[in-house]
Structure 1
Amino acid sequence: MHVITSSCFLLLWMHTLTSVKSQAAVNCRNPVIEDGVVPGNVNEYNENDVLSYTCNPGYKRVQERDSRCTNSGGRSAWIPTPACEAIKCELMLPPVIGTIYEPSYRNRFSPGEKVRVTCGDRYWISEGRSRSRSAETTCKEDGQWTIRPVCQEVACSRPRDRYLLHWGDSWFQQKKLGDTVRYGCRSGYRRTDRATRATCTRDGWEPNPLCQEIPLCGRPPALEDGDVKNTTKERYNHSETIEYMCQSYYTMEGEPYRTCYNGKWTGQMRCLNPCVANEDEMRQHNITFKSNDYNKYLVHDEIIEFKCANGLPVGKVAMRQRCNSGVIVLPTCREDLS
């Protein structure tokens, strides 16, 4: 019994060894790859060896994953199968709503072939800083497009305007075509074109730029027969105000202030002339002041009353007159010769 048992074990060990040798004998032959080439002179590969191969110009690997010599059901095989295919660029199908391809009858193209992509009203092709509704793209040798031919919905990101003071929405929320946002500018700057809201357009945020520097004002304009109350400067900021005054006996018409507004002086005033009662003219009209308290210089709108030096008034001009910006009408008296 002992001998029989030993024989059985010997047979089992030999069978196991044969099986191991059979499994270890897996090998792969050098494959023939259409439109590709395997470099070197290796004819056989052991299990788990990786196959190094390249595709001919204009072709690429069907599978990017490495091909390994593998035991597949007791037989050797390259997995995945090494193969090459012609390089093609593909268009997305179906396209975004409203998108048109030209040519439109296929979606696979060879290197060097061109396609024009036209997007719908609310879409664009975005490539770096370039955004357009229609663009031409070319299939490259590596199977990629020179411009990614994908229409995306028009959107505006956070504006990069360092003069913005506040933005009436989340800085990180994108806005779509036609959306508007309230905004304000820093001190010394104003909203361009007096806008109150920024609008998302195909060309980005409008107005562009969102904020403009408010121009300064130069020296204030001179006032005829008047002057600025305080010392003037070479430059004035937006909203700065200056005050004017008229010369003695001249009367200010309008507010005495001018304000720097967006680089221009605003405010209208003038100095109205006084009236001068000329004694020679008064003698010619045979009149004199009714009261000795009157001054010969009369300010605008001041009322004065005359009387005849002798004799009686003639004509329709009343003895009571008002100074009107340097002009006063004199009445006339007929001299009494009796």
Structure 2
Amino acid sequence: MSFCRSRGSGELTTVTEPVTGFPWLSTAADWAAPLTALCASHARTARNHFRFSSENKPILYALQMMSLTWSVVLLCQFFLYTTVTSKKVCGRPPITDGIDESVLKRVYEAGEEVTLTCERGYLPSTPSPRRISCSGTGDWTSSDLACSPIMCPIPKALQSLAMGRTEAPFKSILNFTCDDGYVMLGFNSSSCLHDGTWDNPPPMCKAVNCPLPRPPVDGRIVHEKNPFTGTNTMYGQGWTYECNSPKAPSYERGSCTADGTVPEPPTCREVSCPIPTSIPNGVITFAVMKEHRYKETVKYACNEHYVMEGEPDIRCTNTGNWSAKPICKAPCQVAIKRGRIFYNAKKIWIEDFKPNRVLHKEVVVFYCKNKPEKCGYPVASVCNDGILPLPECFEEPGKIEYNLKAKTLPSEIPMCAVPPPAATTATRTVQ
């Protein structure tokens, strides 16, 4: 049997097949020539939009023949489809990460075998069989092959920046940046390769260069360490500006900045500071009561039993103001009448604590009682500018208990092995 079949380009060709399995179709020899001619006829009628057949017969004849041809094509395609799909095939095998899938086909016939391998940059981490086969049921035989990525060692200098990690897996990328004030020499990233090496070495971060600073008019530059050499300074290097006495620079400090610039030189001008004033609970030990010039100093001291916080010397600054004055902090009293404390490495009954005075920032230890455990435990309190808080747990004993049962006080009974939580510092303030 012959029939027409269309190729992808639109061209029609004649195909001859034996007529078997279709008893209702004629097997006469007169099928061949008309069908062969029909294919040519179809090509021509397609070009002429079915206006005439090749034999200039009416359009109806061409359409009838074309309908018959396509009917035969559909019947043949149906027969072929049912014949092919009756066989079981396997799709692409299921794989896990790291298995090479570039050599795998989309469809496999029953009985075909496949050898699974790890792709480049991965190593097998299990001893499972690698060869699998397509069964007659359309399923693959099992394989637990697992592929693990090759690891690249992280350079020791960078491990602290990698949160303690010492290795990175294949395809990992390290991105590098430099801190402000530094420029990168080298590549800003490095990738872990299939052979366990990095494609780029870590870069270097070099300090930004700045030009040499210019000294102020009527002044000079004082170097912090060694004098500058060459024509540049580096980021982080600093210096001090000075003016000829009695003038002061508009600002005193300069440095090489992160953007590679240095400040313009300051202006030298005359400044003075007002007569210094006294401080609470303190005195000026030596000073001439007059205005003071730039860099002149005044010294303070605190009254007896007061503790100084800050520097005793103040300085007339380049702004015409004094530097911060010190503060004199007051002593404290232990505000209990009965009990025993631990102070200055000694256990002392409060009536023997004379004078009753604790200096600022000194520590006094009180004793509290753990009643369920019947043991005592210490709680520390710190004097802060005249205030010594009592622990919340502290209970001052009554006169009878204090005088007749002193051995039962928290300071005298055995100490607890472990003090209660949050019982190490005082929180109650005595008014």
What is the TM-score with the length of structure 2 in the denominator?
A: 0.27
1 or 2, which has the higher helix percentage? 2
* Larger RCO (CA within 8 A; separation ≥ 6): 1
